[in-house]
Chains A and B, each alone.
Chain A
Amino acid sequence: MYRILFIDEEQDDIEYFKDYIEAKDVSNSFEVIATYPSGNLVEMLDVIWSSHVDAIITDFMLNEIKENIKYNVPYNGVELVREVLSRREDFPCFVMTAFDDDAVGESEDVNIVYIKGILHGTEKETKAKANFLDRVKNQILHYRAKLESAENRLLELIKKSEKNELDAGEEEEMVHLDSLIEKSLDKESVVPKIIKEKKESDSLSDLLNKVDLLTKRLGGDGEN
């Protein structure tokens, strides 16, 4: 099952999107949640994280039509995706736009930008080319695979660390993988606390030593 979040400021377009998914998703493996864009980016990100979805699909121009929302939306779909990706690398994100513009094809985000016309049947039904929904599914699968391999590697490193066999590079890799998984799955950190605690106590005693040294010096100065 794939949970996807659709963001658009127009109810009509939300309904077209649901119609589209219903028509294309023959195996019934998609669940669509839809929402209007929030009034600020921070709130919007909260909505995204708390909805626990596998992918987001957002309209591009979120601040144009004011029939269903009355407030201003100070970001567009591309800016939203940029924010999401800066927090979760490679998270499946897609932008839909009504602007049927050649320029979209030249954009840096060529793989994530789609023309809204596909919701109304403009998508070419060729066997060679995957349709939009196939691509969403593939992205989700890629992302899941990436997380899985990260998780496996992390477990491997943890085992090594228990035997005190980690070198500095591996230790760094472990912290990186840990935060990747932590962010992506909202899981509890899987790195054993011992390591973090060990590191912390090391640096604490280092600090204490320095303070000692400083006090001694200051004391020495005072005597003079």
Chain B
Amino acid sequence: MFFDEKYGHIKDKEKVEELAKSILERSRKEKQEKKDTPNTEQESADLTNSSHKLVLLAELNKEKNEKIERLEDEQKVLRGLASSGIVLASFSHDLSKLNDVLTSRVDKVKSLISEKLDLELYKNEEDRKNPFVQLEKMQKQDLKLQNWLNFSMGAARKDKRKRKQLFLDKYLNDLKADWLTILENRGIKLDLSEVGKIELRVFEIDFDSIFNNLLVNSFDAFKHSKENRDRIITIKAKVSKNITIDYYDNGPGLSQDIADPEKVFDPLYTTKRNAFTGAEEGTGLGMWLVKSVTRENDGEAKLLYPKIGFGLRLIFPAKFKK
């Protein structure tokens, strides 16, 4: 039973493949027979017609099989990624304990040391040889760690999975706060000044999928920026007939090497390469997720082609408005 459930789809596939093969063979045989025995015109026309249909069916089946294979590949990647989310969620208790410790541990060591050790002793030392400066640095690193912990623990929170009213400007400002360390550390400005007061009925986790993926792509793009300009990500949103959300970054934009830019929306299509080997490094899921999550919410994702950088427009029907 278990075997059947687990491998049922493979069995089905095998059956279908057998069927397709037999159809193809039959059509070949029929063609052969047609050559060997001359029929009346009507008979031969019928035969050609039916064998033509069968060949079409076989072709169709082959296409379907390929699609199933692609979907299975996608599912594998998604399962892997989901599992790491599950692990995080199930250990959130342990993680939040660690998180609490991070707030205070360096202060504790500092006060213990300074009871017996005079700060003045190190005033002529290089920073890297001054334990007090090093402790300050650790405290900053702890804060960064804390940010990452909060971020990953928050990612799979239950209430994010409920469809509820989402206030776009508040949502985006919270998102900005979540990413603030990274934004600052990479000198990236996230401009939300043109986000209107818009309420949507969507899953917060869906919007996380959209914007986290877009942000991660922009961060990566800025690393490859050759032009010397400030790094800016702009999100604009307004309501008229529809709800329109525009996302821009002024990085290098999509590579000119991509013959068909729309391909970035295909699952498992990635432009992220290993800089040493040129091997594919991205999961190829980011933009596909952006598109499919948007579609699932009756919206549409369109590439914009700004002169500088990357641009994407999301359009949601106004029914999502409150």
Contact = CB atoms under 8 A, between A and B. Distances in A.
Interface of A: 12, 15, 18-19, 39, 60-61, 63-67, 70-72, 74, 76, 78, 101, 103-104, 106-109, 113
Interface in B277-306: 277, 279, 281
A49 to B, nearest CB: 23
Contacts of B277: 103, 106-107
Contact of B128 (A18, A67, A72, A104): A18
Nearest to B231: A66
Given A65-B186, A67-B185, A70-B187, A107 B276 contact: yes
Contact of B127 (A15, A66, A78, A108): A15
Contact of A103 (B187, B222, B231, B274): B274
B307 interface: no
B137 interface: yes
Contacts of B121: none
Contact of B185 (A60, A66, A70, A78): A66
Contacts of B226: 72, 74
A108 B279 CA distance: 13
A104 B276 CA distance: 6
3 A-B pairs with least C-beta separation: A66-B187, A107-B276, A74-B226
Interface residues of B, number: 21
B223 A61 contact: yes
Contact of A78 (B231, B275, B279): B275
A13 to B, nearest CB: 11
A19 B137 CA distance: 15
Contacts of B185: 65-67
Contacts of A19: 128
B227 A72 contact: yes
B224 interface: yes
B225 interface: yes
B229 interface: yes
Interface string B220-239: 00111111110100000000
22 contacts: A12-B137, A19-B128, A39-B228, A61-B223, A63-B223, A63-B224, A63-B225, A64-B186, A64-B223, A65-B185, A65-B186, A66-B231, A71-B228, A72-B225, A72-B228, A72-B229, A74-B225, A74-B227, A78-B275, A103-B276, A106-B277, A107-B277
Nearest to A19: B128
A61 B224 CA distance: 9
